[in-house]
Amino acid sequence: MTGKVGFVGLGNMGGPMALNLVKAGFELVVHDINPVRLEPLAAAGATVVDSPSAAAAACRRTICMVETTEQAEAVILGASGFVRTARPGDLVLCMSTIAPLAARSIAERLAEKGIAMLDAPVSGGTHGAAGGTLSVIAGGPTEAFAAAEDLFRAMGKNVFHVGGHGMGLAMKLINNMLGQIQTVAIAEAMVFGKKAGLDPKKIHEVISVSTGNSVQFQNRVPRILTRNFKPGGTLDISFKDQELETAFAKRLGVPLFL
């Protein structure tokens, strides 16, 4: 599928992702409720429009990258949402981290009008968004994934299709849960080791080749050693993701003790 690409939601993640699409040669039509966020995209050559529906009207493929389930529902299904102007055969990519069951409901509403959808959340934080090294985790029809893969590979390094609607988000929530638990465990372990008299650099050296090693350990500990505590995200987003995890697990009857 060729032509212009719509992108709504140009925050800490969406802005860099959209810029990487422009750098890859895609012609973007963009919208955000914050005019300041539009400036880098406009300077890069993207077309600015005043609503999500205007973006969908100009494009056959449109991306939603906002923070919450409620925001995604408004952007896609609201009074000025994609659904108002999208045509049969168009493709909506919901790359926001939202409730999996809500994504399925949105997909069903769009399907009534012949519009395809993928839930395709990302992992990698703001550094991955800026560097184009995100993991993109998509759920939805195989043919829709094939129609979106070129966009995903312009924004990410690792691209996965993991099943039907909602499965991309289910996988993202599992990933987030593990990452959050490991971050807390790493912080406690480093303090534990320091209080025991161990050299923090030696802790990193030993654990890096032992069973306690992990991607999160390698991401976090070098920054701890250099006293670099600059966040890659915000606490409100982390809290929102934890709420999504526990709510979805509760619906499935799965206890999450950690």
Question: What is the distance between the alpha carbons of residues 233 and 139, in angstroms, rounded to a whole number?
Answer: 24
Which among 172, 195, 202, 250 is annotated as catalytic?
172
- Verify whether residue 172 is a known catalytic residue: yes
Strand order in the sheet with 122-123: 122-123, 134-138, 156-161
Q: What angle do helix axes 100-111 and 235-252 make, rounded to 10 degrees?
A: 80
Contacts of 103 (CB under 8 A, 6+ apart): 72, 94, 117, 119, 139, 165, 166, 168, 169
CA count, 13 A, side-chain hemisphere, 142:
0
> 9 in the Ramachandran plot: left (φ > 0), alpha (ψ -120 to 50) or beta?
left
Q: What are the DSSP E strand ranges found in 111-212?
A: 116-119, 122-123, 134-138, 156-161
For residue 59, the Cα-to-chain-centroid distance in whole angstroms is 21
Side chain identity at 105, as an amino acid letter?
Answer: S
Straight-line distance from the first to the last Cα atom of the chain, in angstroms, rounded to the nearest whole number: 43
Question: What is the distance between the alpha carbons of residues 60 and 74, in angstroms, rounded to a whole number?
Answer: 19
* Cβ burial, residue 183 (10 Å; 0-12/13-18/19+): middle
What backbone phi and psi angles, to 5 degrees, belong to 64? -110, 120
Catalytically annotated residues: 172
